[in-house]
Amino acid sequence: MNATPPIRNGNLAHPDAMRFVDGERLIAHLVRLASFGGGEALNDGVRRETLTPQELAAKQWLCSLFDAPGYRWLQDDAANLILRREGREPVLPPVLVGSHIDTQPVGGWLDGAYGVMAGYEVCRALDDAGIRTRRAIEIVAWTNEEGSRFAPGAMGSSAFVQPALLDSHRQRRDAQGVPFGDALAQALQGLPDLPRAALGRAVHAYLEAHIEQGPVMEADGRVLGVVEGIQGVRWFEVTVRGRGAHAGTTPESARQDALLAAAQLIADLHESVLALGDDTLRWTVGKLEVAPGSVNTIADRVVFSIDLRHPRRERLDQIETLLAERAARLWSGCPVGVKRVMDKAPTVFHPMAVAAVQAAVEATGEPACRITSGAFHDAMYLASVAPAAMLFVPSIGGISHHPDENTAHEHLIAGARALTAAVLKLAD
Ligand code: GLV
Ligand code: MN
Ligand code: MN
């Protein structure tokens, strides 16, 4: 299976290859992928968190999609799943195209899945057009982009660009106490026949197609977005330590209630952040674990998350200083500890890769709109080792991380067409 794909149309102009995108095939693949962890209807949502049996079953199905000469399936030590389409000059660094197939605890059918399936459709379109590119193309499904089961997010892509990170990722645990390292080892064994690719390999360029996940493109009536960068993101894990005691007998004066303390701290931080009057700041507490979690026992320990985002690093620093100052106080007599578990500076995509996406969008006949991503993506890590860029399609109602997440089929297909032209330009 190391033969290269056949050439029929060696000189086909890049934009012409877009004609070979098969929209029905793309949508059918997306719908099938959604069935792994999904319900009867697409808007039942998808439950396919990272390194779960649902994700493994989806990967096994993906591997059955390309069993043809010129293709090879690989995985690396971070369980990133790679489909390599061989190029005419196999020694050259490949063009990577990717996203993720893990979801939020209950996610939509397109977040991540779209970028992976659009990448496969690019390969199919190139096959049907009879094009063999100069460089190899690799379609990658990155591990644990979401970070909902194991924080931080984008573990697979961060370990790809900085392999030393994998050791600290391995120590992170999910809510059941399972170490990421154990779940990773099990997932790797689930695809025992795949050869191992190296982390930290040279990459010529990286492209990622994704749904916008916000309301901007739909409001502006745009179909294809050229993404110029990604706002900065920091995640914190805040631990409030109280003293567990009997709910029926312990007087107020003798309590150290970790849940009450957490509620006070969260409300205080929320007001302080709002008082800055900065409409571009995003501040979210989305996860809170209470121990021991009993109706009639005062909370002993609360751990909650903070997701903080802004396009400017200085603003992130300012909020982090505020958080440290508040955490240094006692809340209802409870001490607070703060651990930063993710810190990604704002990303500016490479002009060459952005220009390739822009030209590809223009070739579809759609006007290109420039946009900065509010969500983070694996592209933010790939951008540190190779020219990277992203392509957005609109989200209906701006909804994402929710079962109602959706995009018009013709917009998904238009995105795959533009992606095909952009990949071809970078790979030739
Ligand atoms: C990605 O899932 C994000 O939270 O931006
Ligand atoms: Mn995503
Ligand atoms: Mn997501």
Instruction: Say what percent of the chain tops pLDDT 70.
Output: 96
User: Is residue 3 situated within a structural domain?
Assistant: no
Q: Region 81-101: what's the mean pLDDT?
A: 97
What is the rounded average pLDDT for all residues in the chain? 96
Q: Which atom of ligand 1 is nearest to the CA of 147?
A: 2
Please check the confidence at residue 10 and state whether its pLDDT lies above 70. Answer: no
Return the residue whose CA atom lies nearest to atom 5 of ligand 1.
375
User: Is residue 1 situated within a structural domain?
Assistant: no
pLDDT category at 14 given cuts 50, 70, 90 is: low
Mutate to test the pocket of ligand 1, among 401, 402, 405 (most ligand atoms within 8 A of CB): 401
**260 — phi, psi (to 5°)?**
-60, -45
256 C-alpha to center of ligand 2: Å?
Answer: 39
More confident residue, 83 or 17: 83
**Whether residue 422 sits in one domain with residue 294:** no
In order of 174, 244, 258, 271, the CA distances from 291 in angstroms are: 15, 9, 9, 26
> Is the minimum distance from the CB of 146 to ligand 1 under 6 angstroms?
yes
**Whether residue 261 sits in one domain with residue 156:** no
**Whether residue 243 sits in one domain with residue 128:** no
The pLDDT tens digits of the residues spanning 409-423 come to: 999 999 999 999 999
In order of 50, 111, 161, 282, the CA distances from 188 in angstroms are: 12, 23, 19, 36
- The tally of domains found in the chain comes to 2
Parent domain of 378: 8-230+346-427
Domain termination site, one of 295, 325, 344: 344
**Whether residue 250 sits in one domain with residue 373:** no
User: Is residue 421 situated within a structural domain?
Assistant: yes
Q: Do the Cβ atoms of 360 and 422 come closer than 8 Å?
A: yes
pLDDT category at 3 given cuts 50, 70, 90 is: very low
User: Is residue 2 situated within a structural domain?
Assistant: no
146 C-alpha to center of ligand 1: Å?
Answer: 6
71 C-alpha to center of ligand 2: Å?
Answer: 25
User: Is residue 185 situated within a structural domain?
Assistant: yes
User: How much is the pLDDT for 300?
Assistant: 98
Return the residue whose CA atom lies nearest to atom 2 of ligand 1.
146
Mutate to test the pocket of ligand 1, among 110, 143, 157, 213 (most ligand atoms within 8 A of CB): 213
User: Is residue 31 situated within a structural domain?
Assistant: yes
Please check the confidence at residue 142 and state whether its pLDDT lies above 60. Answer: yes
**Whether residue 237 sits in one domain with residue 219:** no
List CB contacts of 200: < 8 A, sequence separation 6 or more: 160, 161, 162, 163
Please check the confidence at residue 1 and state whether its pLDDT lies above 90. Answer: no
172 C-alpha to center of ligand 2: Å?
Answer: 21
Domain termination site, one of 321, 344, 367: 344
**Any idea what the CATH number is for the domain that residue 213 is in?**
3.40.630.10
User: Is residue 202 situated within a structural domain?
Assistant: yes
**Whether residue 222 sits in one domain with residue 201:** yes
Q: Region 220-238: what's the mean pLDDT?
A: 98
**Whether residue 290 sits in one domain with residue 144:** no
Q: Region 142-158: what's the mean pLDDT?
A: 98
Q: Which amino acid does the sequence have at 94?
A: P
Radius of gyration in angstroms for the set of CA atoms belonging to the chain, rounded to a whole number: 23
**Whether residue 403 sits in one domain with residue 314:** no
Please check the confidence at residue 9 and state whether its pLDDT lies above 70. Answer: no
97 C-alpha to center of ligand 3: Å?
Answer: 17
The number of CA neighbours under 13 Å toward the Cβ of 321 is 6
Please check the confidence at residue 7 and state whether its pLDDT lies above 90. Answer: no
Distance CA 222, CA 216 (A): 9
pLDDT category at 363 given cuts 50, 70, 90 is: very high
> Is the minimum distance from the CB of 375 to ligand 1 under 6 angstroms?
yes
**Whether residue 339 sits in one domain with residue 237:** yes
Q: Which atom of ligand 1 is nearest to the CA of 307?
A: 4
Domain termination site, one of 293, 312, 344: 344
